[in-house]
Structure 1
Amino acid sequence: MITITACMIVKNEENVLGRCLDSLKNLVDEIVIVDTGSTDRTKEIAKQYTDKIYDFTWIHDFAAARNFSFSKATMDYIYVADADEEIDEENQEKFRNLKEAMIPEVELVQMYYTNQLEYGTTYNYDKEYRPKLYKRLREFTWQDPIHETVTLDPVIYDSDIEIIHRPAMSHAKRDFNNFYVVLDKGERLSPKLVHMFAKELFIAGDEEDFIKAGAYFEEWQRDTTITPEECAYIQCVLAKCARIQGNLELLMKVALKNIASKASAEVCYELGEHYLELGEYEEALIWYYNAAYETECQLNIHYGGDYPLKRLADCYRALGNVEQTSAYEELAEKWSL
Structure 2
Amino acid sequence: MKLSLCMIVKDEEKTLPKCLGSVRNVVDEIVVLDTGSTDSTVHIANKFGAKVHEFQWCNDFSAARNEALKYVTGDWVLVLDADESLAQKIVPQLQEAIHREEYLLINLVRQEVGAVQSPYSLVSRLFRHHPEIYFSRPYHALVDDSVTEILSKEPKWEVGYLQGVAILHSGYQKDVIDKNNKYAKAQAAMEQFLATHPDDPYVCSKLGALYVETGKISEGVELLARGVTTAEDNYDILYELYYHLGIAYSRVQNLKQAVAHYQAAIKLPIYPMLKLGAYNNLGNLFKTAGDLNHAKIAYENALKIDPNFATGHYNLGMTLKAMGLYTDAIACYQKAIGINPNYADAYQNLGVVLLKLGNLQASLAAFGRAIALHEKNNPQEAQRLRQGLQEMGLI
**TM superposition shift of 1:11:** 1.8
CA drift at 1:17: 2.5
Contact 2:19 2:84 in 1 (8 A): yes
CA contact (8 A) 1:107 1:138 kept: no
Match of 2:67 in 1: 68
Q: Which one-letter code corresponds to 2:285 in the other structure?
A: E
Residues 1:232 and 2:242 are matched in the alignment: yes
SS in 2 for 1:152: coil
1:295-306 to 2 correspondences below 5 Å: 305-306=312-313
User: What amino acid maps onto 1:152 in structure 2?
Assistant: P
Q: Distance in 2 between matches of 1:29 and 1:65?
A: 22
**SS at 2:229 equivalent:** coil
1:288 is paired with a residue of what secondary structure? helix
Distance 1:76 1:258, change over 3 A: closer
Contact kept? 1:75, 1:136, Cα under 8 Å:
no
Aligned mates of 2:158, 2:328 — CA distance in 1: 49
Q: Which moved more, 1:218-227 or 1:66-75?
A: 218-227
1:239 aligned counterpart, secondary structure: helix
| Matches of 2:259 and 2:165, distance apart in 1 | 43
Q: Does 1:135 align with 2:129?
A: yes
Q: Write the mapping of 1:140-179 to structure 2, written as runs, cut at 5 A.
A: 150-154=153-157, 165=168, 167=170, 170=173, 171-173=176-178, 175-179=182-186
Cα distance between partner residues in 1 of 2:314 and 2:89: 36
Question: Per the alignment, in what secondary structure is the counterpart of residue 57 of structure 1?
Answer: coil
Q: Which amino acid aligns with 1:33?
A: V
> Which of residues 212, 217, 220 in structure 1 aligns to 2:220?
217
CA distance in 2, matches of 1:172, 1:85: 14
Select the structure that is richer in helix. 2
Separation in 2, partners of 1:88, 1:225: 36
Equivalent in the alignment of 2:364: none
Identify the residue that residue 182 of structure 1 maps to in structure 2: 189
The number of residue pairs the alignment matches comes to 290
**Structure 2, gaps ≥5 residues long:** 134-151, 232-237, 267-277, 340-395
Task: Note the C-alpha offset of 1:178.
Answer: 4.1
Instruction: Classify 1:253/1:217 alpha carbon distance in 2 versus 1 (closer, same or farther; 3 Å).
Output: farther
Q: In the aligned structure 2, how far is the partner of 1:290 from the partner of 1:26?
A: 42
Contact 1:111/1:132 (8 A) holds in 2: yes
Return the alpha-carbon distance in structure 1 between the equivalents of residues 287 and 158 of structure 2: 46
Deviation at 1:55, TM superposition (A): 1.4
Correspondent of 1:309 among 306, 316, 320: 316
| 8 Å CA contact retained: 2:76, 2:129 | yes
Instruction: Give the share of equivalent positions with the same residue, in percent.
Output: 20
Report matched runs for 1:223-262 at 5 Å: 223=226, 225=229, 229=239, 232-243=242-253, 251-252=254-255, 254-255=257-258, 258=261
CA contact (8 A) 1:79 1:132 kept: yes
Relative distance call for 1:25 and 1:229 in structure 2 (3 A) is: closer
Q: CA deviation at 1:14?
A: 0.9
What is the Cα deviation at residue 132 of structure 1? 2.8
Q: Structure 1: how far apart are the matches of 2:34 and 2:126?
A: 20
Q: What's the RMSD between the two structures over aligned residues? A: 5.4
Q: What displacement does 1:307 show?
A: 5.5
Where 1:185 maps in the other structure, the secondary structure is helix
Q: Displacement of 1:159 after TM fit?
A: 8.1
User: 1:329 deviation in Å?
Assistant: 4.2
The one-letter amino acid paired with 1:216 is: E
- Equivalent residues of 1:7, 1:79 under 8 A apart: yes
Q: Distance in 1 between matches of 2:100 and 2:16?
A: 31
Could you tell me which amino acid in structure 2 is paired with residue 54 of structure 1? E
1:325 aligned partner: 326
Deviations 1:56-115 (A, max 9, x none): 4152x43333222112324444333333455799998x69x959x97694655759778x
Amino acid at match of 1:326: T
Match of 1:288 in 2: 295
> How many Å apart are 1:270 and its aligned residue?
2.5
Equivalent residue, structure 1, for 2:39 = 40
Q: For 2:162 and 2:297, how far apart are their aligned partners in 1?
A: 38
Q: How far did 1:326 drift?
A: 3.1
Distance 1:27 1:65, change over 3 A: same
> What is the TM-score when the length of structure 2 is the normalising length?
0.52
